[in-house]
Structure 1
């Protein structure tokens, strides 16, 4: 079911390998039947259509190991109704962010795949993070036999809680390194390491091979499709919609993976009307949907929604491939322009195929105002990334008048961004310490403090390496003990 376009990758001298579905399979179980299943049941029915190399027993074993007591709710991804929208809470896993939804299962998929393919090398997971992927991947792969995981993050580009979660990570096979740069620098550095053919030979001789936990890994993307199908079936099960009724989906995104998963769900037959792409002040995706030109030649802005502070949206390439008619040569041409000039433009015909999407963005001030208003009106507190989505949703309604029932992907717990969230509600909170803010958020929201936060209150720092971008590869070699 998954096809690798080796020729265009080779011609372009790409530094990563992208798998894409050669066709989008249709859901083969009715939505009404899916509505009677729990999260694990829906996950199997969706993922079996993409991961066709897995046996039923293998896939169900991976699912059962992933979606267990690591999540603090039996629903795994509950829906909360607030102010006329349904918030899909994707942050009930071990690291209180949506990345847990995929990274809880990825290690099991990876190890099962390695066993099926008689891989004897240790697998080195090499990942760049803008905040959430790093901790979720570290937690997923910690002490998994036959693996090591190395995470690079922008030293001054994540929240204090995000950083503390990573640098306190236990596990003999876990390594965390801050870089003096932004996320795009970290991501480019990782891609360059993947593309180092001499390093690949040396690693192979030493018994290692690379893999990734970033959303360029198809094993990250497929599990994300599940929660959109699940959200729809919960609305159906609770009589909020009729079978076949269309919904809108709003996704805050920087790297485009999370909304691409929703796009795949729509193409599998899920009744989605509009895919609403929400950006922060790094609005490269908004500009792309507005103009048909992708241009990363702009200032990089640090915001209070740091996981979206991205100018190179890697997963957009998968959408470009599809709207180019699955034309690898055309895709190659556009990605070559991005690499050499920092921009590319799509044709009018390709742009017509983006009709499913609506793009907009939220400024820092608008985001804060939305968080404050939602709390004052409903008592519901959302994080800064979800605030971007809620802001863009209000703009969408104003622009279109569309009243279709809407699911907003709530991608992180507000406990992960306490200072930004609480100062949006009232600037007086900015004088409090980080863990004072945690306790205040607990008082205001009435939501229990997640274990992920309690665990880092007094946890010692175990990872304190910081390096220049050009030293990333040397640090990988040092960790692996190779020259």
Structure 2
């Protein structure tokens, strides 16, 4: 299988070449030239497999230049050796009749980004050997909270790589910040950016698209790549858990083989839900992919009106990983919906850069509405939902999952759709302990307590152990203290690489 750019100005590349580059030189994102299709027999065959075996089977369809043994080794290193606290890796939990939660946060950083970022470094290392790349790869990461820590953990001390993570100084939770600034690893650097996530993400994209800057890096023995979901190697592992969740429901006889399901996905940069779209296009019986937003509801508005407008107020919310106004992966969806009209996609993205908005046609909007219902939830509703669900079911939601839960409830109420529904849970409640505890026990329940005392209090309340990696943060030293302005990010990269 070959990969091409959403902007259409790049020759087709192998999977290894696309993963090594991260982003296309024309500014676009790499997409498969053709989406593989599977039949009911293929899907049924996944039911008897472990998560690792399912992953290898799905990845083989896209990463055709990787040998099966190479993929098996990558997958075993990513999901084996006790790295995930649940042997199912991504377990599906039944909450009510026809309502399930897909837990994607049993990895080392307690967030769904581990599902991809434990695998990407292994895919990248293998790719570099395949293409004979000798230069050092510089991984630039913009994060709204979870990607940064997951990338740091995944790439820690990986040979032939350097990793620089940029996060919004005031735009992540206390636990998220501690996870990043205490990270060990000789090849890692972390920087706070004075601005929001979009500032950090735009800064990284500009560095990637600056040909002069990249030439200077190359002259000094460096090449850029990405661990954000703009990298196809970050996105393809996420397709796996949609198939795996379906297989688990068949195994537990909650659905019959061939039945439709809906997925509800808390969405910011559009990568997670886009992986579901690829699974649906391949043939997985997904009826709807329901897009759930917080108060930064640019995606909900777009999916309802066909107008993408980032010229709006930016909100800092209880679900900070979704505090995004420029959703990068939407570009891939536009490319597929327009039947690979790269010129049109390029025009829309240029309009977004110059005016802050673009509008798609009614035909394209109708196609999106058929697949992507959408809704949004503010912080007040998020808090109420966390409390309501715990009181009724004894199940603790993190704020992002609570957004998805409430949007799912609203969708079912508005449409009467009784299709079995899988709510994609993207983070442990312990990662956002103050918000969750406040929702369950009241805002004054932890006044003047340290964040780690709050972790223990939440643990007692929901009768679940604190993830060991989060508890250990209390005694870890702060290693990264640098703060930069968004316009200084290129200088920070050069200084870190000791390029004058």
TM-score calculated relative to the size of structure 2: 0.94
Contact 2:168–2:192, Cα closer than 8 Å, also in 1: yes
* Aligned mates of 1:331, 1:6 — CA distance in 2: 7
Which residue is equivalent to 2:31?
20
Which residue is equivalent to 2:289?
275
- Aligned partner of 2:83 among 70, 81, 96: 70
After TM superposition, give the deviation of residue 9 of structure 1 in Å: 5.0
* Aligned mates of 1:429, 1:26 — CA distance in 2: 52
Which residue is equivalent to 1:47?
59
Which residue is equivalent to 2:322?
308
| 2:339 is aligned with 1:325 | yes
Contact 1:15–1:191, Cα closer than 8 Å, also in 2: no
After TM superposition, give the deviation of residue 433 of structure 1 in Å: 2.2
Q: Secondary structure of 1:457's partner? A: helix
Which residue is equivalent to 1:398?
413
Which residue is equivalent to 1:171?
185
Which residue is equivalent to 1:88?
102
Contact 1:26–1:268, Cα closer than 8 Å, also in 2: yes
- Aligned partner of 1:31 among 43, 56, 64: 43
After TM superposition, give the deviation of residue 7 of structure 1 in Å: 6.2
Contact 1:15–1:192, Cα closer than 8 Å, also in 2: no
* Aligned mates of 1:319, 1:368 — CA distance in 2: 31
Which residue is equivalent to 1:442?
459
Contact 1:248–1:406, Cα closer than 8 Å, also in 2: yes
Equivalent runs, 1:450-469 vs 2, <5 Å: 450-469=467-486
Q: Secondary structure of 1:442's partner? A: helix
After TM superposition, give the deviation of residue 8 of structure 1 in Å: 4.0
After TM superposition, give the deviation of residue 73 of structure 1 in Å: 1.1
- Aligned partner of 1:428 among 444, 450, 469: 444
The 1:100/1:201 distance shift into structure 2, 3 A limit, reads same
Q: Please, what is the CA RMSD of the aligned residues?
A: 1.4
The 1:358/1:468 distance shift into structure 2, 3 A limit, reads same
| 2:271 is aligned with 1:257 | yes
After TM superposition, give the deviation of residue 331 of structure 1 in Å: 1.0
* Aligned mates of 1:378, 1:437 — CA distance in 2: 22
Instruction: Output one character per residue of 1:23-65: Cα deviation in whole Å (capped at 9) or x when no partner.
Output: 2101265222210001011101111111111111111111111
* Aligned mates of 2:53, 2:46 — CA distance in 1: 8
After TM superposition, give the deviation of residue 108 of structure 1 in Å: 0.4
Contact 2:149–2:179, Cα closer than 8 Å, also in 1: yes
Task: Extract unaligned runs of 5+ from structure 2.
Answer: 11-23
Contact 1:154–1:182, Cα closer than 8 Å, also in 2: yes
Contact 2:6–2:342, Cα closer than 8 Å, also in 1: no
After TM superposition, give the deviation of residue 6 of structure 1 in Å: 7.9
After TM superposition, give the deviation of residue 398 of structure 1 in Å: 0.9
* Aligned mates of 1:463, 1:130 — CA distance in 2: 17
Equivalent runs, 1:277-426 vs 2, <5 Å: 277-354=291-368, 355-425=370-440, 426=442
Q: Which 10-residue stretch deviates more, 70-79 or 190-199? A: 190-199
Contact 1:419–1:429, Cα closer than 8 Å, also in 2: no
TM-score calculated relative to the size of structure 1: 0.97
Q: Secondary structure of 2:373's partner? A: strand
Instruction: Output one character per residue of 1:217-272: Cα deviation in whole Å (capped at 9) or x when no partner.
Output: 00000000000100000000010000000000000011000000001001111111
Which residue is equivalent to 1:58?
70
Contact 2:6–2:31, Cα closer than 8 Å, also in 1: no
Instruction: Output one character per residue of 1:348-398: Cα deviation in whole Å (capped at 9) or x when no partner.
Output: 111121111100001111111100001111111010000100010011011
Contact 1:370–1:391, Cα closer than 8 Å, also in 2: yes
Contact 1:88–1:408, Cα closer than 8 Å, also in 2: yes
**Alignment length (residue pairs):** 481
* Aligned mates of 1:195, 1:316 — CA distance in 2: 18
* Aligned mates of 2:112, 2:438 — CA distance in 1: 23
Contact 2:6–2:345, Cα closer than 8 Å, also in 1: no
- Aligned partner of 2:490 among 441, 462, 473: 473
After TM superposition, give the deviation of residue 3 of structure 1 in Å: 2.3
The 1:388/1:7 distance shift into structure 2, 3 A limit, reads closer
Instruction: Output one character per residue of 1:390-412: Cα deviation in whole Å (capped at 9) or x when no partner.
Output: 01001101110111111010000
Task: Extract unaligned runs of 5+ from structure 1.
Answer: none
* Aligned mates of 1:424, 1:246 — CA distance in 2: 34
* Aligned mates of 2:213, 2:349 — CA distance in 1: 24
Which residue is equivalent to 1:220?
234
* Aligned mates of 2:475, 2:311 — CA distance in 1: 42
